[in-house]
Amino acid sequence: MPRIEIQKTYKIFINGQFPRTESGRYYPLKNKKGDVIANICLSSRKDFRNAVVAARGAFGGWSGRAAFNRSQILYRIAEMMEGRKEQFIAELVAQNTPVKAAKHEVEEAIDTMVYYAGWCDKYQALFSSVNPVASSHYNFSVPEPTGVVAIIASEYLSLIGLVSAIAPVIAGGNTCVVLASESMPLCAVTFAEVLNTSDLSAGVVNILTGKSEELHTHFSTHLDVNAILYCRNNKSEIKTIKENASLNVKRVFVYENDLKLIKAQGPYFIFDFQEIKTTWHPIENIGSSKGGY
Amino acid sequence: MSAPIILPDFRNTPTIDQVGVEERAARFTTRSIKKSSKLQGLSMALNMIDLTTLEGKDTEGKVKQMCYKAAHLHDVIPGLPTVAAVCVYPSMVKIAKDALKGTNVKVASVATAFPSGQSSHEVKITDTKFAVANGADEIDMVISRGEFLSGNYNFVFDEIASIKEACGKARLKVIFETGELSTLDNVRRASEIAMYAGADFIKTSTGKISPAATMPVTLVMLEAIRDYYYKTGRMVGMKPAGGISTAKSALHYLVMLRETLGGAWLSNEWFRFGASSLANDVLMQIAKETTGVYQSIDYFSKD
């Protein structure tokens, strides 16, 4: 008797768990031949709301970790991705990426994760400064994570688009809610499984699948979201997002072109989701008196 | 002529089917409450809150701050109710009373060597009288769980009755600390003792022990109130306290209240939530319903 193949149910990833969408809706994903290869959750605004609650809850713990420890965890993610390489490639191929390009994309994605793992405990030194001031203060500025970041990931780069958007955000100590590509969502769900086995605390990354046209309004209006990263090029969505973001002065970044390139790496992607805190620390008047030092 | 004294008769007390109670309680969480009825439910829940601070580190400033919040929950949204009461330690009653002058918010005080209740009878009476003398409208007493668990039901009954006497005009809420009573049968029995001894409210927990209020425990107490009402015609209030921190669960409790005791109990005269963080979550949901936008805790006052 021929064996019946067990198909994987692709679900969403919220707070370290894999629920189905609360709305019960889904959409069929088809390959080139028109065969249905998976049913994908069509996430609703309530899923997004739950994900933001999870991300907010995880923020204190994640941003409070030692930078070096974050680095270790990101590196661990890369290790786990390496183990799933064949699966990622197979999924990309199922989504109509040519085999050679798929292999290249997966390897670049893993390398990107390692790249940002390295930056976790180094960007602070790069972006900090000790500032000269006229009064007797020791004045210094340091970057601190912005908070909860909503990400609408690239539509055309199933894996590398996702990784290059998420990695710098979490490397900088933020937590995030990500909407994966609508037409190429398979790698996103598998990537969630990778995250779930990588010592990453629950809620740091939450991944939804579904339509940007339905969700971008909620992504941009939610008052508990501190920044939004948009990696597509729909002009009217960009306009709506920018307008809605003014509600609570969210930071808005549109990487319309940047992440189209497979090699989009750099510490400035981390810096986008950092706030600079400047501290004035009173000291004795060093110049004119004998200091107590 | 005084009313005839009725005593509880445990032979008539039903035993509690724990599985059945849990299943029944779970069903209340499946009601769909949307839009205007949700808004009304949330507003009612807000009006039933006993805003509570019961910590060793409470200061005059903290209590005053909380009292201000009790009367001005979120002035950005017009037409919001106040909470029902603030709940503080006896030493803070006077401060709270002064801070709430001119509002409808009542002052409740815990008493009787809260939260353990491990002290002498005299101390408990003095504690209660001190709170009442300082202006407490309501007294939240704890029962002696040790005596209850060792079967000294008479002791527990008499203690409640004498505290009730010491309360004078203040309404008496009796806290069982259900997390320490171990079975639902004990909860039911404690409910009967308290009601027959004169409690105006029965209350689940101090908030210091986990588990605090749960839906099954509250259901058992609500059913005890119902049976007592049928027997004596006297209404007794219910106060789940501790562990209820989301608007959604508050609505579940209101559904349970309505479906167990009926509409007559749906006011803060007969039902309260003992909570400190619930108010902000309810406010966030109300703001979400009125503005259409999900809210952030950053825009609501902490205390």
User: Residue A121 gets which letter from DSSP?
Assistant: T
The pair of structure tokens assigned to B177 is 């600390």
Pairing state between β B106-110 and B138-142: parallel
Distance from CA of B248 to the nearest CA of A (A): 13
* Domain ranges (residues) in chain A: 26-282
Distance CA A173, CA A274 (A): 9
Can you give the pLDDT at residue A293? Answer: 43
Q: By the CB < 8 Å criterion, does A250 face chain B?
A: no
Exposed, middle or buried by CB within 10 Å (0-12, 13-18, 19+), for A210? buried
List of chain B residues whose C-beta atoms are within 8 Å of the C-beta of residue A223: 293-296, 298-299
Helices and strands (H, E) in chain A, number of each type: 10, 10
Q: By the CB < 8 Å criterion, does A224 face chain B?
A: yes
Can you give the pLDDT at residue B52? Answer: 94
Restricting to B residues 253-292, those with a Cβ less than 8 Å away from any Cβ of A are: 292
Restricting to A residues 179-218, those with a Cβ less than 8 Å away from any Cβ of B are: 218
* Peptide bond between residue B115 and the one before it cis (omega within 30 degrees of 0): yes
List of chain B residues whose C-beta atoms are within 8 Å of the C-beta of residue A221: 292-294
**Is this complex's ipTM strictly greater than 0.90?**
no
Q: By the CB < 8 Å criterion, does B76 face chain A?
A: no
Q: By the CB < 8 Å criterion, does B32 face chain A?
A: no
CATH homologous superfamily for the domain A26-282: Aldehyde Dehydrogenase; Chain A, domain 1 (3.40.605.10)
CA atoms within 13 A on the CB side of A195: 28
Q: By the CB < 8 Å criterion, does A248 face chain B?
A: yes
Distance from CA of B299 to the nearest CA of A (A): 9
Domains of chain B by range and CATH?
15-22+33-291 (3.20.20.70)
List of chain B residues whose C-beta atoms are within 8 Å of the C-beta of residue A248: 296
Distance CA B158, CA A159 (A): 71
Sequential pLDDT tens for chain B (303 residues): 455 678 888 888 899 999 999 999 999 999 999 989 999 999 999 999 999 999 999 999 999 999 999 999 999 999 999 999 999 999 999 999 999 999 999 999 999 999 999 999 999 999 999 999 999 999 999 999 999 999 999 999 999 999 999 999 999 999 999 999 999 999 999 999 999 999 999 999 999 998 999 999 999 999 999 999 999 999 999 999 998 999 999 999 999 999 999 999 999 999 999 998 999 999 999 999 999 999 999 999 887
Mean residue pLDDT across chain A: 92
